[in-house]
């Protein structure tokens, strides 16, 4: 009887593998947890908090391993807000790095909900000056990872990445920044730019950094542009639940640009996280003929005269289908933290 059961289980397993019962990743992403570093300007928009929700649910599901989260802005309450969300999902010890430089950003910066989250929810990190330098933390984390194993998701200005590329050897690695990235990073997933051309906010506030990263980054880059997230609306189901114990709900509740009629918001940052962990699946088409070119004034254009390891996403399914997948992850309860 036992032997028969084993045979039946083997047949079922093979059938499932053949028919797709088990989720698969595409685009060369291995069938093991994706090692993720998230670089997010949380507080500027509620999609940053939502991207963190997706990341943690992927970790809950065994799809991702969270190595660190980085805050690339001067706001002292960004790191505490990240700590709030990490704590809510039961991972209070995830390393958090912050920007320690003095290059000014262009345009107005916002704290739409960071301070409110820090006042309302449990966490340990009280101020950004308590967090380590993000660029040094990048080097520390990357130096300890297997080669070509890390996926970086950046959903804000690319200041930290630009600075990382220009670092010199230190106590963590004998490699300079570019060589360290080339050795350890598998993919850079960026929410930024706009196809076929445009001037998107993440690029506008640090155009020199975006230009430098586009021209210097040594591994594949996939851009999820403004035009993608603009079509994908999420938040209505999250807000309807009125889960006051959720910092993700609070981020949407406190954001002034949530549409008051439809109770939703564009899903820019979530798309970069979704692709980074699950690949294209049947949700996206990945266009890799050409590259993004950036000028000094934050304008971008996609050119097809040569390839530079750049790609951009286009929707392969209706936006509503992708929105449903994203929002299911946004509203799912933590597996480890507060239920």
Domain 32-331 maps to which CATH number in 3.30.200.20, 3.40.190.10, 3.65.10.10, 3.90.245.10? 3.90.245.10
Spatial separation of the C-alpha atoms in residues 57 and 69, rounded to whole Å: 15
pLDDT bin (cut points 50, 70, 90) of residue 339 is low
Among candidates 196, 146, 150, 147, which has minimal Cα distance to 39? 150
CB atoms within 10 A of CB 230: 13
pLDDT cut 90: percent of the chain above it: 84
Q: End-to-end alpha-carbon separation of the chain, Å?
A: 41
The answer, yes or no, to whether residue 17 has pLDDT greater than 70, is no
| Domain definitions of the chain by residue range | 32-331
pLDDT tens per residue, range 230-251: 999 999 999 999 999 999 999 9
DSSP tally for the chain: helices H, then strands E: 14, 13
- Asked if residue 24 has pLDDT above 80, the reply is no
- In 63-216, at which residue ranges do the beta strands (DSSP E only) sit? 64-71, 96-98, 150-154, 185-191, 197-198
């Amino acid at each position: 009887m036992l032997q028969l059961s084993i045979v039946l289980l083997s047949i079922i397993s093979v059938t499932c593998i053949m028919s797709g019962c088990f989720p698969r990743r595409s685009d060369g992403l291995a069938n093991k947890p994706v090692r993720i570093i998230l670089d997010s300007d949380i507080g500027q928009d509620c999609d940053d908090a939502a991207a963190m929700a997706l990341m943690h649910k992927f970790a809950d599901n065994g799809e991702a391993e969270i190595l660190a989260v980085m805050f690339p802005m001067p706001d002292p309450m960004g790191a505490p807000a990240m700590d709030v969300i990490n704590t809510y999902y039961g991972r209070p010890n995830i390393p958090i790095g912050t920007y320690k430089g003095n290059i000014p950003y262009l345009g107005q910066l916002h704290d739409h909900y960071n301070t409110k989250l820090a006042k309302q929810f449990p966490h340990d990190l009280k101020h950004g000056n308590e967090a380590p330098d993000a660029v040094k933390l990048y080097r520390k984390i990357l130096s300890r990872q297997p080669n070509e194993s890390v996926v970086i998701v950046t959903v804000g200005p690319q200041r930290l990445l630009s600075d990382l590329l220009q670092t010199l050897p230190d106590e963590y690695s004998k490699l300079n920044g570019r060589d360290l990235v080339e050795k350890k990073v598998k993919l850079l997933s960026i929410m930024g730019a706009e196809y076929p051309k445009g001037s998107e906010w993440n690029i506008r506030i640090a155009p020199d950094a975006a230009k430098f990263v586009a021209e210097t980054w040594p591994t594949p880059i996939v851009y999820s542009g403004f035009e993608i997230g603009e079509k994908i609306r999420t938040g209505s189901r999250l807000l309807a639940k009125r889960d006051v114990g959720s910092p993700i709900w609070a981020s949407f509740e406190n954001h002034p640009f949530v549409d008051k009629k439809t109770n939703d918001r564009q899903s820019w940052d979530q798309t970069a996280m979704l692709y980074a962990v699950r690949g294209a699946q049947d949700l996206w088409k990945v266009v890799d003929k050409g590259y993004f070119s950036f000028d000094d004034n934050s304008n971008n254009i996609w050119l097809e005269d040569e390839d530079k390891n750049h790609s951009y996403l286009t929707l392969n399914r209706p936006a509503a289908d992708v929105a449903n997948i994203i929002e299911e992850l946004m509203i799912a309860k933590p597996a480890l933290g507060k239920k």
